[in-house]
Structure formats: structure tokens, C-alpha cells
């Protein structure tokens, strides 16, 4: 094909996805929108330089007219009217079946933070989704067979492509890598959009990591062009945007406005949001210093401001507001662990439903009934609570920026947990696994980002640990790395080579003087 080259290995049935027609469609999107993507990434760097030089975030004066005028997004699309429970997970074959069968209303089929973007995962994920829509998917493991329930019992598929910052090195156009976003979107839309439409729904997406309404405008233009190229009626696509970067919290209205004919609402992406807070103001001293990650709850003032503004913004514009992740994984062996964790999950979902959210996320099928029961108690037979306008909410820029009011400490135990989780996660990621069960929590790239960015911030602010009095230095962290590795090495299945890769990567993104924008960028460079 003209200008397109495949650099990844071939495998069984890959030719069904990597057809000349599908690659030509995706190449058209890359040719028409690739340059704009790069311009927007440069704009991110310019904004970061302004913040590092002492600038701040605020609601944009140039878009005041958008915030003050009357408009609404498109009405909820078929299969997205009721979103009281959404389950997230990677697009491997077993997860595809389990998520669709889980009883959740929506499955976020994840090519992003819960997926390590090996070429095999990328292409097989597309095959799995297409097979699921064709009802030809099955899976067997450990003597157990997995198959889909009837269509009317399945969750609605909503695909999360990679963020604008990630590339797909296994596909090049005129010698340059494709956008990972456009590969994930393009291949899915080409192969599966009309399959979803035939089932009475449509091609739906979750859009991650955006930092401005101009990035949302780019997605909207991609949607318009893709629908035009394949003869799909304009407005059939619907997209929910994750508000998971600090700048995006100040542009929620504008993001909805840019996508309004394709908008399905906003989601409070809490873990990446915390990472973005650290990243954006990492050079600004202790004013933007967070306590250890397990101490930061959704009741922290700046997190309350963010979530309440999100609900008010969405409902004012007729859009769904979807709550954050419950990452707990129930234990088969420890009922006390389950009891304590499920109390926290229930309290979290009760807070969200009480605040007006229309639904929320879980990471494990066993949590679907827990979340559903909480939202059922508020919603009853209603599909959502879009009628709760939350006009009582008034959030200022200062409220969103009030990081320093967050209670909590920084302890050696917290530091060790960050090191341990990051090493375990990166080792799994380098082995092709993007969603990893660690200490009864489902960890993904977002939580690994918090772990390493907190350590970087603590080192650069001479933080003294509350429990030991030790100052966090590179030398202390390196000693803890060795001690945590020694414990991991004693566990069954330890892979010395993979942990050596993970350790080198972790030291680069947590201990270098220069802060890596995303740990997945150097990690992907190391991936075959």
C-alpha cells in the first residue's frame, strides 16, 4: 500500500484486521490529522513551560462566551441511556467475554492504560472486539469454557484508544510512525462501527489524556471525517471524555462544546488526575505537594471541587457524568480484606451517586453488583439523574488549585509501596500485561505514574518521612529499591531479566533530574 509499512510480526488472523482497505482508511486519517496532533503536543510543551516558569491555570477568558451561552450536547445514544455501572479492562479474549457478561451496563474496552501496547495486543484486541460483535468469540482455560450471554444481557462496548501522545511504531506512513490514537480508532471504526450499528447501538469511545478543548476539536474533526468516509450518518459516534488532566478541569464546558454532536459526557479519571497535578506543578515546591497516594481521597478539597464541577457542568449541558474507578479486587482467601475494602467501595459509590453522578467504574466483575446496588437505590427505574442540575455548586479556579489543603502524611511505608507497585507493574507491562493485580488492587499505567511521579517530587522537595524522620533522597530510594526487589525475588515466578528492565526504567522515570512526561514513552521504546 502507498506509503504504509507494517513492522510488527504477523500472527494468525492478523490479515483479517490489517486489510489493505482498513490500512488505507487509517492512513487517510493519519495524513489529514497527523500534523495537527503534533502541533497540539507542542502546545502542551509550551503550556508546561509557562507553568514551570510560575504561570497558573484558570478558566479561559477567550471562551467565556461558550460557558455563558445556552447549548446542549446530543441526547443519549442507544445503549448509553443507562450507565449506572461501567466495567473497565483490557481487550484480551477472556476479559472481553467476562466484561460483556458482567452485568455492567457499559464495558470500557481499553487499548490505553490497562493495555500494554505490544503489536500482538493491539491487533488481537481488534479481532476480539470484532469477534464479540459477530458472536464468534469463545475462550477455554483451566478446564473452564467462556462464552457470551444473549445480546440483550451484554454490556455496551465503548472503546478507549490510546492518548494523543502515543505513537504506533509497528505501522509507519512514509517512514513516520502512526498516531496510536488513530490506529486504535481507525481499525475499530473500519471493522466494527457498522457491526455495532447493526445491533442497534453505535461506535462509542472514551477519549483519554486530553489537555485542552482544541484536542477535543481534533477528535471531533476525526469523527466527522471517518463517518463521511464510511457513509455513517454524522453524529452516530459518541464519545465520553476522561477529565484526567489538570488543564482539562478548567475546560470542561469547552470540551463538551467541541464534541457536542458526538458527546456522551465526561468521566472523573481520578488516578491520572492526581498524576497530572504533580506533573504540571512539579517545579513549584510544596504548594502542590501531595501526601502518599493511599492517603489522598476523593474528599480532599481540591478533588471535591473537581468532581462537583464535573457533575454540574455535565448536567447543565445534558451530558452524563461518570464517576471514578473502584480498583479493589476481591480476595478468595481473606474475608476481612474484602469486608474492609467493600465498605470503602460502597462509601465511595454512595458519595458519587449522592453527588449526582449517573454511574461509576469498577475494575472487577465481583464489584458490579456492589456499584449497581448503590446506584439502584438512588436511580430506581430512572436511567440517570441528568435532572439534578447541581445549581448549588460554585467552584472557582482557586478551589481547583487548593492542593495544599489535602490532609495526609508521607511515610516510609508509603514510599515503599510506591516503589513496590511501580516495579511490579513495570515488570508486567514489559511482559505485555497492562492491567495487573497487586495487593488486591487493579493497577494500571495511571497508578504507576502516580507512584513514580510522587517519588520524583519528594526527592526534589527534600521531604522528611513522617514515621522515620529520614529525608527522601535518590540514595534512600535506591536502597529501598534493592530491598523491595529482594523481597520480590523470593516469590514464585520471579523473572530476573524482566525485573532488571523494570528497575532500569523505574530509575529513569523516578530518579533522573529531567521528568519524563509519561513513563509509557520510554517503556514503549524498550518494547519489541
CA–CA dist 193, 233 (Å, integer) = 11
CA–CA dist 378, 395 (Å, integer) = 25
Say if residues 454 and 295 touch (Cβ distance below 8 Å).
no
Query: In terms of Cα–Cα distance, which of 160, 297, 301 is closest to 240?
Result: 160
> Within a 10 A sphere around the Cβ of 335, how many other Cβ atoms?
10
How open is the CA angle 188-193-198, to the nearest 5 degrees?
A: 145
Per the document, the length of the chain is 528
CA–CA dist 29, 18 (Å, integer) = 15
SS3 for 80? coil
Say if residues 13 and 191 touch (Cβ distance below 8 Å).
no
Helix H segments across 12-155?
A: 14-17, 20-52, 64-68, 93-100, 119-134
As beta bridge partners, residue 4 has 173
DSSP 243-288: E-SHHHHT-HHHHHHHTGGGEEEEEE-HHHHHHHHHHHTTTSGGGG
Say if residues 205 and 158 touch (Cβ distance below 8 Å).
yes
CA–CA dist 528, 521 (Å, integer) = 13
Give Cβ neighbours of residue 357 (< 8 Å, ≥ 6 apart): 268, 307, 311, 321, 322, 323, 385
CA–CA dist 507, 456 (Å, integer) = 10
Query: In terms of Cα–Cα distance, which of 325, 353, 306 is closest to 84?
Result: 353
In terms of Cβ atoms closer than 10 Å to its own Cβ (0-12, 13-18, 19+), residue 111 is buried
Helices 412-430 + 474-489 axis angle, to 10? 60
Q: How far is CA 326 from each of CA 154, 269, 479, rounded to the nearest angstrom? A: 21, 11, 32
- Considering the candidates 160, 316, 390, 424, report the single residue annotated as catalytic: 160
Say if residues 274 and 452 touch (Cβ distance below 8 Å).
no
CA–CA dist 322, 329 (Å, integer) = 20
Q: Compute the 3-state secondary structure of the chain and give helix, strand, coil in percent, each to the nearest 5.
A: 50, 15, 35
CA–CA dist 478, 506 (Å, integer) = 10
Say if residues 454 and 506 touch (Cβ distance below 8 Å).
no
Active site residue 444: yes
Residue 74, all three cell numbers: 446530543
State the catalytic residues.
Answer: 160, 444
Amino acid at each position: 500500500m502507498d506509503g504504509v509499512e507494517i513492522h510488527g510480526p504477523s500472527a494468525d488472523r492478523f490479515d483479517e484486521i490489517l486489510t489493505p482497505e482498513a490500512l488505507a482508511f487509517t492512513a487517510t486519517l493519519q495524513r489529514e490529522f497527523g500534523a495537527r496532533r503534533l502541533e497540539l503536543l507542542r502546545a502542551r510543551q509550551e503550556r508546561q513551560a509557562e507553568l514551570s516558569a510560575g504561570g497558573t491555570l484558570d478558566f479561559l477568558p477567550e471562551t467565556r462566551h461558550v460557558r455563558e451561552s445556552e447549548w446542549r450536547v446530543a441526547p443519549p445514544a442507544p445503549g448509553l441511556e443507562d450507565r449506572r455501572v461501567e466495567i473497565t479492562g483490557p481487550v484480551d479474549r477472556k476479559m472481553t467475554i467476562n466484561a460483556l457478561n458482567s452485568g455492567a451496563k457499559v464495558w470500557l474496552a481499553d487499548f490505553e492504560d490497562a493495555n500494554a501496547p505490544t503489536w500482538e495486543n493491539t491487533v488481537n484486541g481488534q479481532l476480539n472486539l470484532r469477534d464479540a460483535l459477530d458472536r464468534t468469540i469463545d475462550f477455554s482455560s483451566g478446564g473452564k469454557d467462556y462464552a457470551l450471554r444473549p445480546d440483550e444481557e451484554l454490556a455496551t462496548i465503548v472503546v478507549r484508544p490510546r492518548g494523543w501522545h502515543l505513537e504506533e511504531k509497528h505501522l509507519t506512513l512514509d517512514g513516520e510512525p502512526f498516531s496510536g490514537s488513530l490506529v486504535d480508532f481507525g481499525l475499530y471504526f473500519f471493522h466494527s462501527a457498522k457491526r455495532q450499528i447493526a445491533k442497534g447501538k453505535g461506535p462509542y469511545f472514551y477519549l483519554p489524556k486530553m489537555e485542552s478543548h482544541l484536542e477535543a476539536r481534533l477528535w471531533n474533526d476525526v469523527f466527522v471525517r471517518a463517518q463521511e468516509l464510511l457513509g455513517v450518518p454524522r453524529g452516530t459516534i459518541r464519545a465520553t471524555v476522561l477529565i484526567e488532566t489538570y488543564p482539562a478541569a478548567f475546560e470542561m464546558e469547552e470540551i463538551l462544546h467541541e464534541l457536542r454532536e458526538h458527546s456522551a459526557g465526561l468521566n472523573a479519571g481520578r488516578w491520572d488526575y492526581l498524576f497530572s497535578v504533580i506533573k504540571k506543578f512539579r517545579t513549584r515546591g510544596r504548594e502542590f505537594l501531595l501526601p502518599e497516594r493511599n492517603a489522598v481521597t476523593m474528599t480532599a478539597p481540591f478533588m471535591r471541587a473537581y468532581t462537583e464541577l464535573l457533575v454540574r457542568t455535565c448536567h447543565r449541558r445534558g451530558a452524563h457524568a461518570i464517576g471514578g474507578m473502584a480498583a479493589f479486587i476481591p480476595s478468595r482467601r481473606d474475608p476481612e480484606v474484602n469486608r474492609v475494602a467493600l465498605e470503602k467501595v460502597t462509601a465511595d459509590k454512595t458519595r458519587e451517586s449522592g453527588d449526582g453522578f449517573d454511574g461509576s467504574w469498577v475494575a472487577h466483575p465481583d464489584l458490579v453488583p456492589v456499584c449497581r446496588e448503590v446506584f439502584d437505590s438512588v436511580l430506581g427505574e430512572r436511567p440517570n439523574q441528568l435532572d439534578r442540575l447541581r445549581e448549588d455548586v460554585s467552584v472557582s479556579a482557586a478551589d481547583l488549585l487548593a492542593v495544599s489543603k489535602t490532609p495526609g502524611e508521607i511515610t516510609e511505608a508509603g514510599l515503599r509501596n510506591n516503589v513496590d507497585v511501580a516495579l511490579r507493574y513495570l515488570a508486567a507491562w514489559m511482559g505485555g500485561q497492562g492491567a495487573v493485580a497487586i495487593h488486591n488492587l487493579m493497577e494500571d499505567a495511571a497508578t504507576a505514574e502516580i507512584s513514580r511521579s510522587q517519588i520524583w517530587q519528594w526527592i526534589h522537595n527534600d521531604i522528611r518521612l513522617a514515621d522515620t524522620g529520614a529525608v527522601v533522597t535518590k540514595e534512600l530510594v535506591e536502597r529501598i529499591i534493592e530491598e523491595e526487589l529482594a523481597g520480590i525475588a523470593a516469590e514464585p515466578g520471579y523473572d530476573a531479566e524482566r525485573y532488571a528492565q523494570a528497575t532500569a526504567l523505574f530509575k529513569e522515570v523516578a530518579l533522573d533530574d529531567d521528568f519524563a512526561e509519561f513513563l509509557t514513552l520510554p517503556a514503549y521504546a524498550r518494547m519489541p
